[in-house]
Amino acid sequence: MANTSDIKNGLCIKHNGKLFQVKEFQHVKPGKGPAFVRTKIRQIDTGRLLDHTFSAGHKIEIVRIENRDYQYLYQDGEDFVFMNNSNYEQVNIPPSLIEKPEFLTEGMVCSILFHAEEELPLVLELPMHIISEVTYTEPGIKGDTATNTMKPATIATGAEIRVPLFIDTGEVIKVDTRTGVYVERVKN
């Protein structure tokens, strides 16, 4: 077992029977009273961010995790099937482990966080940006680039996002997968 002096960003710990990943931490030594460690930890299965304070010397249970790159193949019923390109091992990922499954495209390489001892997938992270074609949107207005007005559009993955008025059907755009927001038009 480790203690609070081993806490660092990215460390995965078991706390109250659940898995958490340390996002931020700060060792605090006040002038009066004992030292403590103030942390921001993210619950792995729900993604919820919590503030937690550990007293100095508190025992913590470290969980070994690994990030592995897998390629998205296809959807099998509810699950999504991914393949490890180095050993061709396939794994089924339920939609609950994917934050925004509507942005998945065949052949996309994603990072899967695995519990190393149990070989259990914990979280799937999409690439930060995807390039996709706009399959449907209302006709654009030529020259309307000055306003910050947005309109709904459907992209090739089936996701609905908001795009500027000048974007037309058939154009290729870049989308931020974390927020689902239009980033820019991609030149061919």
pLDDT of residue 124: 87
Q: Which two tokens stand for residue 91?
A: 């794994």
Tens-digit pLDDT profile for residues 14-65: 988 888 989 899 998 888 889 999 999 988 877 788 999 999 888 999 988 8
pTM recorded for the entire structure: 0.73
At 67, give phi and psi (nearest 5°): -95, 125
- Give, for 112, the enclosing helix (H) or strand (E): strand 109-115
Which among 48, 52, 20, 49 has a CA at the least distance from the CA of 38?
A: 52
Q: Which two tokens stand for residue 141?
A: 């207005």
* Mean pLDDT over the full length of the chain: 87
> Which domains are present in the chain?
2-62 (2.30.30.30), 65-125 (2.40.50.140), 130-185 (2.40.50.140)
